[in-house]
A and B are shown apart, each in its own frame.
Chain A
Amino acid sequence: MKKNHVFMAIALPALALFFIFHTYPALQGIFYSFTDWKGYGSWNFVGVKNYLNVFKDNRAGAAYIFTFQFAIVTTIVVNIISLLIAIGLNSKIKFRKTLRAIYFLPYILSILIIGFIFNFIFAHFLPQIGTVLGSELLSKNILGDPDLAWIGIVIVAVWQGVAFNTLLYLAGLVTISEDLYEAASIDGAGIWTKFWKITFPMIAPFFTINMVLSMKNYLMVFDQIVAMTGGGPGKSTESISLLIYRGGFEGGQFAYQSANAVVYFVVIVIISIIQLKILNRREVAN
């Protein structure tokens, strides 16, 4: 067989399989979003009715607001903490290997099971501590409070998310030469100046990747919520993924949730592009 034929014989099946199991379902989803299909039985075209309904739907609106609030807060908190830990791990410390291994541990664990464990911490452990300390805020289960439950989910997501982001920042930090800091010290630069003039510009590409990846991941939040609140209390922590899952599989809203998924997809793409644009411009400006 000729060289080019061999390459084709490898690439074509890969293309076919990927199309069948990824692109084709996506196209079907888009197709059904213009129908009234329940997931079974007959269907009719309804035009853009599903899309109009998504925008009028309070439940969907609440899911979008919750998901955004959660994703933005978690992305910021995760990145601040990760950066601090990475800088710490990169300085001259004892037990560096062990500490690094501990901080990375959450990355290898099942998010769902960690969520179950945290569920217990919020429901039983913290209230016990709160009662001993006489603190009213701690003595109740925040996951049972519609206004506070989302914070519990942020905490689990941060607990786990810090692991990977720290590793990425660490990868960036080790590339910065010690000489740069020494030269800056001779010029009389303080810690703060060194961070903003040396550290941050040098790891800016890693910052960009982390912000974009974190945001994208947290916009798709699902496992944590299933384990912690199931979307409750009420619908206060129902994320977009969970809404699509529930409505699509349990609520007979196959076509409607497909339209919701298309909107969701467009939103994720737009946000990723905006983030890349803004963050890249800042990198260049530096």
Chain B
Amino acid sequence: MTRKKTNWIITVLLMLGSLFILFPIYLAITIAFKTPPEMAGNLLVLPKSWSFDNFKQAIEMTNFFNAFKNSFFITFFVVIFTVLTNSLVAYAIARNLHKKFYKTLYFYFLSAMFIPFPIIMLPLVKQTSAWGMDNLVGLIVLYVVFNLSFNVFIYIGYIKSIPVELEEAAIMDGASTWGVFWKVIFPLLAPMNATVAIITCLGAWNDFMLPLVLLSDQGMATLPLVQYIFQSQFSTDYNLAFASYLMALAPMILVYVFAQKWIISGVMRGSIK
């Protein structure tokens, strides 16, 4: 095989392009550390001092740790329950696709992907508040159930590639269907579990619309929702607002810096299924 030379023109173009991606983040970081008088000057320069005062004030004002706790609580349990239940449901469907009931169920979940959220939004909010589900637990239940639609689709594609013989061998050894799934299939699904966990985590952590319409108590607000609620109170204090935005973005950025390779390959695996 011939080794090609590095294409420096494309390298430089891509590096220039990446500045467009990084610029808003740079702006968010520098403004979060600046003081209101500095905002009158050149916005591109670095802050005069790296003081954390804006962050302290933003934490107090938005009750940051409470919102962080809410977002974390939701994301954590949504990821766990989504992976455990959605894989199980997909397995039950995948191994019975030759039966009419399961095939119908498969297309039922699949077709739900085409239903825009606004069509169910208004009645759903009435329903959840009537049933006392206008809280964090209610949100978790809804995410896990709604996730079925997409996850069943990508899990089934993967389960089909696992030979049935593996399960039959385990059954010969006396394992139950339940045991076969947890001991044989679930571990084999590891790459897909990772993909589903990553996509679910990003979805739950960043979602704005469902918490906005569902949650009735401001104390339950998630990180994105808090930024929206405090938007009017930040008013023209952009330093405070950006400190708050940055803290809301930081957890995901930190995770991404350390796990980007894993996250990218996980999302890619899900998207080409």
List residues of chain A with CB under 8 Å of any chain B CB: 1, 3, 6-7, 10-11, 14-15, 17-18, 21-26, 28-29, 32, 39, 85, 88-89, 91-95, 97, 99-114, 116-118, 120-121, 124-125, 128, 159, 164, 167-168, 170-171, 178, 209, 216, 219-220, 222-223, 226-227, 240-241, 244-245, 248-249, 254, 257-258, 261-262, 264-265, 268-269, 272
Task: Report B44-99 residues with CB < 8 Å from chain A CB.
Answer: 85, 88-89, 91-93, 95-96
Contact A6 B178, beta carbon cutoff 8 Å: yes
A sample of 23 cross-chain residue pairs with beta-carbon separation below 8 angstroms, ordered by A number, consists of A11-B93, A11-B105, A14-B92, A18-B108, A21-B127, A24-B123, A25-B124, A88-B14, A102-B18, A108-B263, A124-B238, A128-B42, A170-B268, A209-B271, A220-B116, A222-B209, A226-B208, A240-B118, A244-B121, A248-B121, A258-B119, A261-B116, A265-B115
B248 and A103 contact, CB distance less than 8 A? no
B119 and A261 contacting across the interface, CB-CB below 8 Å: yes
Given A11-B93, A94-B6, answer yes or no on A261-B224 (Cβ-Cβ < 8 Å). no
Within the complex, the shortest CB–CB distance from A104 to chain B, in Å, comes to: 5
| Nearest 5 A/B pairs, CB to CB | A28-B123, A25-B123, A25-B120, A261-B119, A10-B92
Taking the complex as formed, is B192 at the interface, i.e. its CB lies under 8 A from any CB of chain A?
A: no
Whether a CB of chain A sits under 8 angstroms from the CB of B162 is: no
Most buried by A among B13, B24, B227, B231: B24
Q: Which of A22, A89, A124 contacts B112 (CB 8 A)?
A: A22
The reply to whether A3 and B116 form a contact with Cβ atoms under 8 Å apart is no
B 237-263 binary contact with A (CB < 8 Å = 1; else 0) = 010011001001100110110001101
Contact between B13 and A108, CB atoms less than 8 A apart: no
A222 surroundings in chain B (CB, below 8 A)? 208-209
Q: Given B31, B39, B120, B260, which contacts A29 in the complex, CB threshold below 8 Å?
A: B120
Q: Is the CB of A110 within 8 A of B224?
A: yes
Q: Are B123 and A108 neighbours in the complex by a CB distance under 8 Å?
A: no
- Given the known interface contacts A17-B145, A121-B24, the answer about A116 and B245 at a Cβ–Cβ threshold of 8 Å is yes
Task: Give the interface centre of A89, A104, A111, A220 by most chain B CB atoms within 10 Å.
Answer: A104
Q: How far is the CA of A99 from the CA of B120 in the complex (A)?
A: 40
**Contact between A120 and B21, CB atoms less than 8 A apart:** no
B164-210 interface (Cβ within 8 A of A): 176-178, 202, 205-206, 208-209
Within 8 Å of chain A (Cβ to Cβ): is B154? no
- Considering the chains assembled together, what is the distance between the CA atoms of A88 and B18 in angstroms? 12
A128 is contacted by which of B11, B43, B202, B271 (Cβ under 8 Å)? B43
Which listed residue, A104, A111, A124, A257, touches B122 by the CB 8 Å rule? A257
Contacts of B153 in A (CB 8 A): none
Q: Please give the number of chain B residues whose Cβ is less than 8 angstroms from any Cβ of chain A in the complex.
A: 90
| Cα–Cα distance between A194 and B15 once the two chains are bound (Å) | 25
Which residues of chain B come closer than 8 Å to A94, judged between CB atoms? 6, 8, 11
Which partner residue on chain B sits nearest A8 by CB separation?
A: B92
Please give, as numbers and ranges, the residues of chain B lying within 8 Å of A6 by CB-CB distance. 92, 176-178
Q: Which residues of B contact A (CB under 8 A)?
A: 1, 4-8, 10-11, 13-15, 17-18, 20-22, 24-25, 27-28, 31, 39, 42-43, 85, 88-89, 91-93, 95-96, 101-102, 105, 108-109, 112, 114-127, 141-142, 145-146, 148-149, 176-178, 202, 205-206, 208-209, 213, 223-224, 227-228, 231, 238, 241-242, 245, 248-249, 252-253, 255-256, 260-261, 263-264, 267-268, 271-272
Q: Which residues of A contact B268 (CB under 8 A)?
A: 167-168, 170-171
* B256 and A105 form a contact (CB under 8 A): yes
Q: Name, among A93, A118, A240, A249, the residue most crowded by chain B CB atoms within 10 Å (CB to CB).
A: A93
Q: Is the CB of A244 within 8 A of B112?
A: no
Q: Judge whether B89 and A10 touch: CB under 8 Å.
A: yes
Q: Is there an interface contact between A93 and B10, defined as CB atoms closer than 8 Å? A: yes
CA–CA, A91 and B24, complex, Å: 27
B101 — nearest CB in chain A belongs to which residue? A11
State the CA gap A93–B223 with chains docked (Å).
Answer: 38
Residues of B contacting A108 in the complex (Cβ-Cβ under 8 angstroms) = 202, 206, 252-253, 255-256, 263
A14 and B245: CB pair below 8 A?
no
B213 near A245 (CB under 8 angstroms)?
yes
Q: A110-B206, A159-B20 are in contact. List 8 more A-B contacts (CB 8 A).
A: A7-B96, A7-B102, A39-B122, A89-B14, A93-B6, A102-B18, A128-B43, A227-B228
Residues from chain A with a CB closer than 8 A to the CB of B264 are: 100-101, 104, 167
| Residues of chain A with a CB closer than 8 A to B15's CB | 95, 99
A6-B177, A240-B118 in contact; A117/B245 too (CB < 8 A)? Answer: yes
Chain B CB within 10 A, most for which of A11, A116, A164: A116
CA distance A14 to B112 in the complex (A): 14
